[in-house]
Structure 1
Amino acid sequence: MILLLPSDPLRPRRPDEHFAPEAAAARQAGFEVALVEHTGDGAVVGRVPAGLAVYRGWMLTAPGYARFAEDLAGRGVALVTSAAQYRQAHELPGWYAALESITPATFWSSDDGRAGFDRARLALGAGPAVLRDWTKSMKHYWHEAAFIPSLEDAGAAWAVAARFRELRDDSFAGGFVLRRFEEFGPAEVRTWWIDGACAVAGPHPDSPEALPEVPFDPAPYASLIGGLGLPFVTVDFALRADGVWRVVELGDGQVSDCPSALRDELVRKLLR
């Protein structure tokens, strides 16, 4: 198994500083580590030996990942996660239907126009909502580009969408996504699933020192997440105000950040 990591932009023979501890843990666990040059929308493949590989690095768009996989295939390298599987995990429309019963109600558009946004808004119905696109929210701009207090106020809702689109700029992906607002606790649990089984669970990297007060049990969700047939994903859970665990996000495990406290365990589980 080969672990592919981004190289340092200034010292291409060394791993990027953010991933250097992961490179060390991987070598200690028996991984062969190879470095690739990351370009933002894709990856320029460096010296990578032929074999089966898993990527751990900066986020790629779905088309960028497809180009990455194609470049590697030309060198005899097969990624554990195919381009189609990456898109399914990376973009919300790819996984929502399978997890609809355990995640907030959601509707989306397929572009950045107001007509599609309004169709999604009307489909979701009255009340508050959270806005994002197919791959990302702007939660750090909560009141101006994420939270919509009332879907009935079409003008105010569109103002939030327009600001979101402005902030996302060239990174805007797919279309607008409107999710029913649910009241969650302040901390999330990030779970790591390998071949349909929960391998690692711990704090979300945005709040690495915090966990919900209620212990999280992944067993009730294994059949739904495993049913997606994805080889390596992360699923973020939050505890709703009524004590029910809800899925906040699913993402491809190759481009999901990992708290340092869980890094060694995750690398060992990937090697197995």
Structure 2
Amino acid sequence: MSGTGEAVYRGWMLAADRYRAFAAALAARGVVLRTSPAQYRQAHELPGWYGALAEVTPRSVWTVGAERSAFEEASARLGGGPAVLRDYTKSMKHYWDEAMYIPDTADRDIAWAVAARFRELREDDFAGGFVLRRYEELTGPEVRTWWVAGECRFVGPHPDAPDTAAPSDVDLSGVVPAVAALGLPFVTVDLARRSDGAWRVVELGDGQVSDRPPALSAGALVAAVR
């Protein structure tokens, strides 16, 4: 790499430690990533962004590591009832019944069976610990929104449903101050409508590693993040 200055990464999802090493290698060549390693971790891992968005996203608790005792303590903090499971960075939504949905966290053996299967499927990609989120009934497709320095630049379909147009009535009123409070340079926020009509944050992610739906051209994305 011959150039120097500020850069925005666009590529595969990196673990936070690998992003830190990547940033250090670039810095040694005179290139500074706009999103620092600390900012990347904050956006990439749920515990980093949850506090700011707690009012607009399902209640969540998490563990450090994958021990059953820590998982059961987190389950008790969340309280009984249905929940969904993920780790700090990712769920296994394509294995909904066996590795994501927990019908009742109070049923310790069934809850742990889901967690153990999740851990098995994630293998070496397991990140941080288990995250238990209160289940909320969502309707319709998810929407992906793109943000630069706390300002929403684009509202469009989620990459999982690229041919589905985003609704025209997406309500970001509760999300704008929460995302702005994080002070992150480039993120995406996925939202879905809850059964009562409220728009809820499903996920916040670092914009550099977020999939781009076809509705957002590469040129439009570059123009939006300049």
With normalisation by structure 1, the TM-score equals 0.81
**Rg larger in 1 or in 2?**
1
- 2:201 counterpart (239, 247, 252): 247
Does 1:228 pair with 2:193?
no
Map 1:103-122 onto structure 2 (within 5 A). 103-122=57-76
Q: Which runs of 5+ in 2 are unaligned?
A: none
Residue 211 of structure 1 deviates from its aligned partner by 4.2
1:225 & 1:259 partners in 2: Cα distance? Answer: 21
Match of 1:266 in 2: 221
Distance in 1 of aligned mates of 2:32 and 2:162 = 33
Q: Are residues 1:80 and 2:34 paired?
A: yes
Contact 1:203-1:210 within 8 A present in 2 as well: yes
| Matching residue of 2:139 | 185
Greater displacement, 226-235 / 205-214:
205-214
The SS at the match of 2:223 is helix
Structure 1 contact 50–76 (Cα < 8 Å) conserved = yes
Question: 1:131-182: per-residue Cα shift (whole Å, max 9, x none)?
Answer: 0000000000000000001111100000000000000000000000000000
SS of structure 2 residue aligned to 1:142: helix
Equivalent residue in structure 2 for 1:145, among 99, 103, 115: 99
- Give yes or no for contact 2:85–2:100 (8 Å, CA) kept in 1: yes
Contact (CA 8 Å) 2:53, 2:175: kept in 1 or not?
A: no
- Alignment RMSD (CA, Å): 1.1
Equivalent residues of 2:47, 2:88 under 8 A apart: yes
Runs of 4+ in 1 over 6 A off after TM superposition: none
Deviation for aligned residue 1:220:
3.6
Higher RCO (CA-CA < 8 Å; seq separation 6+): 2
Question: Are 1:173 and 2:127 an aligned pair?
Answer: yes
SS in 2 for 1:67: helix
* Conservation of the 8 A alpha-carbon contact between 1:202 and 1:262: yes
Q: Secondary structure at the match of 1:262?
A: coil
| Residues 108, 120 of structure 1: 8 Å contact kept | yes
Q: Partner of 1:93 in structure 2?
A: 47
